Amino acid sequence: ALAKAELEDLTLLYQAPIEHGEAVEDQLAESNLELQRTQKRLSEELTEATNYVFSILPEPRQAAPRTEWLLVPSTELGGDSFGYHDIDGDHIAFYLLDVCGHGVGAALLSVTAINVLRSSALPNTDFRDPGAVLSALNGAFPMERQNNMYFTIWYGVYHRGSGALRYASAGHPPSILRRRDGSVAALSTPGIAIGMMPDMMYRAAVNQVSAGDRLHLVSDGTFEVETAPGEMLDFQSFVDRLSRSESPSEVLDWVRGLNGPGPLPDDFSLLTIGF
């Protein structure tokens, strides 16, 4: 009898872990299914967000000034964006901005700023004056109200009648103007990134453009790549290659060749304008 009782006890001791293990496996399986459902939902929402970011980008212009562009985020959602629109019958604006960081937060700020520019939604601002536009943006987007995010920007306004290009930048890489005669100019103005300091005043500069000139607006991720371990692409080398390129895709292929396999370390944004 004792042996039988001991056997029953041993059986119970043996079965208990098995039953517990089966329960744990069931819980893990359910948790895994729930995780898969959550990941699928987040992936679908991220795809929708990415599609929206690209949906607000303008169609390439076929009439002069013509445009070509390329935006390749380094992750699903980046902080780069750009646009162009007619201010009136004589003036057209071109702009490219880069929000610090990546992900949903950077994309939201980028889209918001672009929509503000596109809809001219800065009160008491002359959108034909790039300096006034950047000053107003700085007042509208202080980083302490944007989860400590800020952005750089290049904003230019082309006057069709005179060929004058007024521009201002805030912590952004220069835009590259390649003239029809082959000469190259880097267009930028002093000024820190938008949102970093209150009450900043930005000033515009002016340059003349002519038929046959090409203007390239870039983000820093377009050229900040390693050509070898610890060695970054020289900006002048990038400018030289950019000024010889016929399309943004040629520049992307060249930069990717320097960077090697895998995604670029930052968003690649290039807007080319042909006058």
The predicted-structure confidence for 17-54, as pLDDT tens digits, reads as follows 777 777 777 787 877 878 788 778 777 777 787 888 89
pLDDT at 134: 98
Q: Are 270 and 216 in contact (CB under 8 A)?
A: yes
- The model's pTM: 0.85
Please give the chain's pLDDT, 275 residues, in tens: 567 777 777 777 777 777 777 777 778 787 787 878 877 877 777 778 788 889 999 999 999 999 999 999 887 788 999 999 999 999 999 999 999 988 889 999 999 999 999 999 999 999 999 999 999 999 999 999 999 999 999 999 999 999 999 999 999 999 999 999 999 999 999 999 999 999 999 999 999 999 999 999 999 999 999 998 889 999 999 999 999 988 999 999 999 999 988 889 999 999 999 99
Structure tokens at 138: 């700085």
Bridge partners of residue 159, in order along the sequence: 91
- Closest by CA to 118, choosing from 57, 194, 165, is 57
Q: Are 76 and 46 in contact (CB under 8 A)?
A: yes
What is the Cα–Cα distance from 210 to 225, expressed in whole angstroms?
32
What is the Cα–Cα distance from 269 to 214, expressed in whole angstroms?
16
DSSP code of 194? B
What is the Cα–Cα distance from 158 to 120, expressed in whole angstroms?
16
User: pLDDT of 73-116, one tens digit each?
Assistant: 887 788 999 999 999 999 999 999 999 988 889 999 999 999 99
The span from the first CA to the last CA of the chain, in angstroms, equals 102
Bridge partners of residue 158, in order along the sequence: 92, 165
- Closest by CA to 254, choosing from 70, 54, 68, 60, is 70
CA distances from 180 to 99, 126, 243 (A): 32, 31, 11
pLDDT at 7: 74
Q: Are 168 and 189 in contact (CB under 8 A)?
A: yes
For Cα atoms 275, 116, 139, give the angle at the middle one, nearest 5 degrees. 110
What is the residue type of 196? M
What is the Cα–Cα distance from 55 to 49, expressed in whole angstroms?
10
Q: Are 243 and 179 in contact (CB under 8 A)?
A: no
What is the Cα–Cα distance from 44 to 52, expressed in whole angstroms?
12
Residue corresponding to tokens 């980046």: 78
What is the Cα–Cα distance from 234 to 225, expressed in whole angstroms?
9
